[in-house]
């Protein structure tokens, strides 16, 4: 009996040892999935534009939308597009009275042809002020007239094709809420913002006009300055219709409570709200060299959370959510921060990341 027990127990010991070694093997399994199943991607059963009660858009570039891989995905998933850089002043405004329309026309024509809303970005932004401004010899009055002519030339050209415009982008300093001392501020004075909105409205009274910025999500002083500017423009009857939160956020920052506080503050203005450049940094601490399943799950939850928050807006204030790009490997964040990054909904092979599922489930 004893022997049998010993055999049994020794056989049992062997089984326990085998089980333990299997447990150790799987407990130490590498982050990356073992075998063909990759839980960082999935097969969608619905589309963003099909599920969303508001436009969901993406940033685009003219050199990509003429490729079927991009065009097909954009038409399938998105109902709005924003030019990532080709409708900015440094691309269009070649000199006084001189314009280059090739790439901006290509993007607008793509939207019109595919019945996709086109959001114009951005009429004035200090970072896309043309280099020739540095050698411009006209006085301030001449510069202001040139800006008026530029804005009204662009807006008139796309009247009836571009539904909305970021009229001014990023006019306030970080951390203080002071006006940035941009060339526009220097030459046109602090009321340049009101002038730009007025000029754009005169050119296309039907276009929705936005002020766009980053930092309102978490910078109290900048957000306060933005709200005060909006309320001032409204009080003066200056046509402003919306605010764009750029929403360049991290998977773990700002907190949902911080974002809720920020959204409440801008919601209170009554303006339409655009999450205008959404991407979710997954490697802000540069602690990853490859995108892990755990981090992919965190991203899925973050996108779900952001969409759920956006849907708390009244329907009439929901202008939409725009992703700042399609594929991870094309994100501006890679060059800007220099870290490996996976901020968007599609991987470098156009595969659907579970972040897409999170966004769809939040809609
Ligand atoms: O595509 C051309 C390429 O053909 C050329 O060889 C190369 C060198 O000249 O330039 C390439 O274009 C660059 C483009 O990004 C595409 O990579 C432009 O020079 C470069 O200026 C452009 O940068 C854009 C940046 O705004 C400035 O316009 C980024 O794509 C874009 O993501 C970024 O977006 C901004 C928003 O407009 C405002 N909020 C912040 C956000 C990030 O900076």
pLDDT value at residue 28: 43
Our mutation pick for probing the ligand 1 site, out of 60, 61, 63, 85, counting the most ligand atoms within 8 A of Cβ, is 85
Q: Which of 210, 214, 239, 54 is nearest to 119 (CA)?
A: 210
pLDDT value at residue 345: 98
Residue, of 6 and 191, whose pLDDT is higher: 191
Atom nearest to 128 CA in ligand 1:
28
* Residue 345 CB partners (closer than 8 Å, separation 6+): 303, 323, 326, 352, 353, 355, 356, 359
Residue bearing the CA closest to ligand 1, atom 15: 85
Are 339 and 283 contacting, i.e. CB atoms less than 8 angstroms apart? yes
Task: Decide: helix, strand or coil at residue 353.
Answer: strand
Q: Give just the sign of the alpha carbon dihedral 204, 206, 211, 213.
A: negative
Atom nearest to 63 CA in ligand 1:
1
Atom nearest to 59 CA in ligand 1:
32
| pLDDT tens figures, 320-331 | 999 999 999 999
One of 3.20.20.80, 3.40.630.190, 3.10.20.30, 3.90.25.10 is the CATH number of 47-362, namely 3.20.20.80
**Helical segments of the chain, H only:** 2-27, 48-51, 62-65, 68-77, 89-92, 102-113, 140-157, 183-188, 192-203, 220-235, 256-267, 293-310, 332-337, 354-362
Residue bearing the CA closest to ligand 1, atom 23: 85
Catalytic residue numbers, as ranges = 170, 277
CA–CA gap between residue 345 and residue 337 (Å, rounded):
19
| pLDDT tens figures, 175-225 | 999 999 999 999 999 999 999 999 999 999 999 999 999 999 999 999 999
Q: Which of 25, 13, 39 is nearest to 295 (CA)?
A: 39
| Count of CB atoms situated within 10 Å of the CB of 153 | 14
Residue 2 pLDDT more than 70? Answer: no
Pocket (CB within 6 angstroms of ligand 1): 84-85, 88, 127-128, 169, 246, 277, 332
Residue 120 pLDDT more than 50? Answer: yes
pLDDT band at 37 (very low <50, low <70, confident <90, very high): confident
CA–CA gap between residue 322 and residue 72 (Å, rounded):
17
pTM, whole model, 2 decimals? 0.91
Q: What is the mean pLDDT of residues 285-293?
A: 98
| pLDDT tens figures, 62-105 | 999 999 999 999 999 999 999 999 999 999 999 999 999 999 99
Residue bearing the CA closest to ligand 1, atom 14: 85
Our mutation pick for probing the ligand 1 site, out of 84, 216, 246, 343, counting the most ligand atoms within 8 A of Cβ, is 84
Domain boundaries, the chain: 47-362
């Amino acid at each position: 009996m004893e022997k049998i027990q010993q055999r049994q127990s020794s056989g049992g010991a062997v089984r326990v040892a085998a089980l333990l070694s299997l447990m150790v093997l799987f407990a130490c399994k590498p982050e990356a999935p073992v075998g063909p199943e990759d839980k960082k991607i999935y097969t969608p059963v619905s589309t963003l534009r099909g599920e969303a009660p508001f436009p969901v858009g993406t940033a685009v570039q003219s050199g990509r939308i003429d490729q079927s891989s991009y065009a097909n995905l954009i038409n399938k998933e998105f109902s709005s597009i924003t030019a990532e850089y080709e409708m900015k002043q440094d691309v269009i405004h070649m000199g006084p009275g001189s314009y280059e329309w090739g790439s901006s026309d290509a993007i607008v024509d793509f939207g019109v042809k595919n019945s996709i809303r086109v959001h114009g970005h951005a009429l004035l932004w200090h970072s896309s002020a043309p280099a020739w401004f540095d050698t411009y010899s006209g006085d301030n009055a001449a510069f202001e007239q040139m800006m008026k002519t530029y804005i009204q030339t662009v807006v008139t050209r796309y009247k009836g094709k571009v539904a909305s415009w970021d009229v001014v982008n990023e006019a306030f300093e970080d951390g203080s809420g002071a006006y940035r001392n941009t060339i526009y501020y220097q030459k046109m004075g602090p009321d340049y913002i009101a002038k730009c909105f007025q000029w754009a409205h005169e050119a296309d009274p039907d276009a929705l006009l936005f002020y766009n910025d980053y930092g309102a999500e978490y910078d109290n002083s900048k957000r306060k300055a933005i709200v005060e500017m909006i309320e001032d423009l409204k009080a003066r009857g200056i046509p402003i219709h919306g605010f764009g939160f750029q929403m360049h956020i991290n998977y773990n920052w700002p907190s949902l409570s911080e974002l809720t506080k920020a959204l409440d503050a801008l919601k209170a203005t009554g303006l339409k709200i655009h999450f205008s450049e959404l991407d979710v940094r997954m490697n802000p601490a540069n602690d990853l060299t490859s995108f892990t399943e755990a981090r992919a799950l965190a991203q899925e939850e973050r996108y779900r959370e952001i969409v759920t928050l956006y849907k708390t807006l009244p329907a009439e204030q929901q202008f939409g959510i725009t992703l700042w790009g399609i594929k991870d490997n094309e994100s501006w964040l890679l060059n800007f921060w220099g870290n490996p990054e996976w901020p968007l909904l599609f991987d470098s092979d156009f595969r659907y990341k579970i972040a897409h599922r999170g966004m769809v489930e939040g809609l």
